[in-house]
Copies of this chain bind each other. A is one copy, B any other.
Amino acid sequence: MNTVHERPFDLLNKSIGQQVLIRLKNGDDIRGKIVSFDVHMNLVLDGAEELEGGGNTKAKLGTILLRGGNILFVSPA
């Protein structure tokens, strides 16, 4: 279906061990380093932080398992 044989989840695979920014459906932003992911886009993040509107840290969350269904988008930071 996709002539370049690349798939959206390749971006997650390439981001293992790297910082990503995650925009949630509820509008909140979370930043952290991707440890692992699965087909539901469930993610484990290390050093996760909730961000304020301006991008500053609002709260340190540490290691979290984030349910994929809450995600709007994931972006390499």
Contacts and interface: CB of A to CB of B under 8 A. Distances in A.
B38 A7 contact: yes
Nearest to A66: B73
A3 interface: yes
A61 B70 CA distance: 18
Nearest to A9: B1
A67 B73 contact: yes
A50 B76 CA distance: 16
A8 B75 contact: no
A3 B25 contact: no
Give me the 10 closest cross-chain CB pairs, A-B, nearest first: A8-B42, A64-B73, A6-B36, A64-B75, A66-B73, A65-B74, A11-B65, A8-B44, A11-B44, A8-B36
